[in-house]
A and B are shown apart, each in its own frame.
Chain A
C-alpha cells in the first residue's frame, strides 16, 4: 500500500488540532496507588458526563510530594493521607480552600488462599505464617494503620520477625497475590468490587483498631485555571462518584 504524503500531512495536522482543542479540557491527576481501580471507573463516567479527559499517574504519596515540589505537571492530587495535602497547602502549592476528604480507607487482612484468613482475624494470633506483608509504615498510611492494628492486638513483638514491607500498598498486595507472603494488610479497595471480596480470603479490619485513613484531595497551583480540574473535584463530591467510591470498599 502506498501512503500519499499530502494526505498523511493533512491528517497529522488535523489530529494535532483536535488534540490541541482537547488540551484545555484535560486534567492531569496524581493518584494514590490504593485508589487506582476506583479512579479508573470514575474516569470513565467523568469523561462521559463532562467531556473532559482525565490523565492519571499512580504512585506513592511521598513520591508525588517530592515531584510536585519540583515542578511536576499535576493539577489535582488525590493523596493516600491527609497530612501531605495539608503540608502542600501550608507551603502554598495548592489552590486555597480546595482541600477535602474524598474517601476514608478501609484496611483488610488478606490472603490469596481461600479459607486462610478467618473473618475475625484469629489467623494473626495463631501465627503459623512465615511472612506478613504490610506497606512501609513510614511512608504509606495503610502501612501505618497496619502497625497500629498489630499494636492494638498486642501482636507487634510476635509478628516483628515476619513482617515484610512493600514500598507502597500496591507492592504489599503483590507480595500476597504472588503467594510469597501468606497474608498481608492491604487496602480493601484492592480486593473489593461490587460490594464483595473478589478472591482469596479476608478480614475487614474494624475501624476502631486504627486511626482513620483519611484520603484528602487538593487542586494544585498548576490546575488553578483549568476548568477540568475544578470539574473533577466537583465530580468527586457528587453522589454518583460517592456511590462508586463506596462500592470499592471506602467510607465517605
Chain B
C-alpha cells in the first residue's frame, strides 16, 4: 500500500470533516436559503452578500480572521472560554466552524435557487387544500427541491474536501485532529516526498472527478445550480 497510516488518517479525517460540515450546513443553510428565496425584506441583499463572501474572499483572509476571532483575545474565543469549551483553534471543532463558514455559499445558493424555482403556485395550492406551513414544507417543498438538496450536499462536501488555506491558518497540523488530505499533500511536497504526494494527489483528483461526474451526469438538461 503506497499510502501510510498518516495518509489514511488524513483521508479519514477529511471525510469526517466534510460529512459533518455538510450535515450542519444543510440544517442551518435550509432556513437561510428559504428566507433568502421568499423574503422581500431590504436585508435580503446584505445577507445574501454575506453568505456569498467566501466565494470571493481568499481562504487566507477567512483563516486569518478566524484565527483572530477564535483566539483567546477574539470575541468568539472569549465566548467559548466563558462557556467552558476552551479555545477551539487547533481542534477539530475549530475546523468544523471554519469549514461551515467557508462552504456556506456552496450549500445555500443551490437551495435558494431550488426554492425560488418552485414559485408561489404549489404553495398556494397546498394552502387551499388546507395544508399547514410545515405540512407544505415537508410534503411539497422538500420533494420539489430534492435536486437542489442533492447539488447542495455534493458541492458542500466536495468544497470542504478541497479546503486548504483556512485549515492551514487555524489547524496547527495535528495528526488525526486537523491534518487533512490537502495539508498532508502540501507537507509531502515541502518535504520533497514526491511519490507520496503523487499518490495522495492522485486520490484527490480521481475523487473530485467522480464527484463532479455524479453532479453533471445527474443534471441532464437542467441549467443553473439547482
Residues of B within 8 A of A163 (CB): 174
With A60-B190, A178-B67 in contact, do A167 and B90 touch (Cβ < 8 Å)? Answer: no
Residues of B within 8 A of A147 (CB): none
With A164-B90, A180-B67 in contact, do A131 and B172 touch (Cβ < 8 Å)? Answer: yes
Q: B190 to A180, Cβ gap below 8 A?
A: no
Residues of A within 8 A of B90 (CB): 131, 164, 175, 180-181
CB-based nearest B residue for A182: B72
Q: A180 to B71, Cβ gap below 8 A?
A: yes
- A178 vs B190: C-alpha distance when bound (angstroms): 25
With A136-B173, A163-B174, A179-B71 in contact, do A130 and B87 touch (Cβ < 8 Å)? Answer: yes
Q: List A residues 165-222 near B (Cβ within 8 Å).
A: 165-167, 171, 174-175, 178-181
Q: A180 to B72, Cβ gap below 8 A?
A: yes
Count, A-B residue pairs, CB within 8 A: 60
B62 to chain A, nearest CB (A): 15
The 0/1 profile, CB within 8 Å of B marked 1, for residues 53-82 of chain A is 000000010110110000000000000000
- A60 vs B68: C-alpha distance when bound (angstroms): 23
With A130-B86, A131-B90, A180-B67 in contact, do A62 and B172 touch (Cβ < 8 Å)? Answer: no
Partner of B173, one of A62, A164, A181: A164
A185 to chain B, nearest CB (A): 14
Q: List A residues 82-126 near B (Cβ within 8 Å).
A: none
The 0/1 profile, CB within 8 Å of A marked 1, for residues 171-198 of chain B is 0111000000000001101111000000
B65 to chain A, nearest CB (A): 11
Any B CB within 8 A of the CB of A159 = no
- A163 vs B173: C-alpha distance when bound (angstroms): 9
Q: How large is the interface on B (under 10, 10 to 19, 20 to 34, 35 or more residues)?
A: 20 to 34
Partner of A167, one of B68, B73, B87, B173: B173
Q: A165 to B73, Cβ gap below 8 A?
A: no
Residues of B within 8 A of A167 (CB): 168, 173, 186-187, 190
Q: Report whether over half of chain B's contact residues are helix, strand or loop; otherwise say mixed.
A: loop
- A167 vs B184: C-alpha distance when bound (angstroms): 11
Partner of B189, one of A63, A175, A181: A63
Q: B172 to A164, Cβ gap below 8 A?
A: yes
Q: List A residues 125-174 near B (Cβ within 8 Å).
A: 130-131, 133, 136, 138-139, 163-167, 171, 174
Residues of B within 8 A of A138 (CB): 187, 190-191
B200 to chain A, nearest CB (A): 15
Residues of A within 8 A of B67 (CB): 174, 178, 180
Residues of A within 8 A of B187 (CB): 136, 138-139, 167
- A63 vs B187: C-alpha distance when bound (angstroms): 10
B73 to chain A, nearest CB (A): 5
Any A CB within 8 A of the CB of B89 = yes
Residues of B within 8 A of A174 (CB): 67
- Interface-centre pick from A163, A165, A181 (highest chain B CB count, 10 A): A165
Q: B190 to A63, Cβ gap below 8 A?
A: yes
Residues of B within 8 A of A165 (CB): 172-174
The 0/1 profile, CB within 8 Å of B marked 1, for residues 226-239 of chain A is 00000000000000
Residues of A within 8 A of B86 (CB): 130
B3 to chain A, nearest CB (A): 17
Q: Would you list the 9 A-B pairs with minimal beta carbon distance, nearest first? A: A164-B172, A62-B190, A165-B173, A139-B190, A180-B89, A138-B191, A180-B71, A179-B72, A164-B90
Given contacts A66-B192, A138-B191, A167-B190, 20 further A-B contacts (CB under 8 A): A60-B190, A62-B191, A63-B189, A63-B190, A65-B192, A130-B87, A131-B90, A138-B187, A138-B190, A139-B190, A164-B172, A165-B172, A165-B173, A167-B168, A175-B172, A178-B67, A178-B73, A179-B72, A180-B70, A181-B172
